[in-house]
Amino acid sequence: MPGSSHFRALCHHHGLAATHQRQVIYETVVSLPGHPSPEAIYDEVRKQIPSISLATVYKNIHTFLESGMVREVSLHYGSLRLETEPRPHHHLVCVSCKSIADLEEDGLGPVRLRRKLPRGFQVHRIAVDVLGLCAACSTKRSRGSGASSNRN
């Protein structure tokens, strides 16, 4: 977990004031496993700052997103999820429980565009989401279905 001097330097680099609330929120994002939701972050932050509101957590998360300190994962799954991993990588997304796990960039072959993009579109990065069932959901489904087949 980053120390306070690291956090202050990170905020300075991104043009943000390094407040105590921001530090606790950021360190919580970094310390939680996977790709935490704002609600999961809020639940953890309240252990250190009981008076903090969910709105304050959301406001700071959006500030971190706008500054580039964190990135949003899977914009189209209906739930804001965050990550701090700066290295290029992809994601494994469970279609049942919505868990997200990292898939290293070298876990896939090269990803490249084969056609021209619409005029004026600027690519920031290419990310691939591999959809399926995580191990826990796959095991639950296997136990729950018994000998019947799944006809999705």
How would you write the pLDDT of the chain (152 residues) with one tens digit per residue? 557 888 999 999 999 999 999 999 999 999 998 888 899 999 999 999 999 999 999 999 999 998 989 888 765 556 677 777 778 888 888 877 877 888 888 877 777 787 888 888 888 878 788 888 889 998 888 887 654 444 44
End-to-end CA separation in angstroms for the chain: 42
4-73 placed in CATH 1.10.10.10: yes
Distance in angstroms (rounded) separating the CA atoms of residues 106 and 47: 38
Residue range(s) occupied by CATH 1.10.10.10 in the chain: 4-73
Number of other residues whose CB lies within 10 A of the CB of residue 27: 19
Predicted local distance difference test score (pLDDT) of residue 60: 96
Class of the CATH domain delimited by 88-145: alpha beta
The amino acid sitting at 28 is T
The amino acid sitting at 1 is M
Predicted local distance difference test score (pLDDT) of residue 7: 92
Write the DSSP string, 62-122. Answer: HHHHHHTSSEEE-TTSSS-EEE---S-EEEEEETTT--EEEEEGGGS------SPPPTT--
Residue range(s) occupied by CATH 3.30.1490.190 in the chain: 88-145
Are 103 and 92 in contact, with CB atoms under 8 Å apart?
A: yes
Predicted local distance difference test score (pLDDT) of residue 77: 58
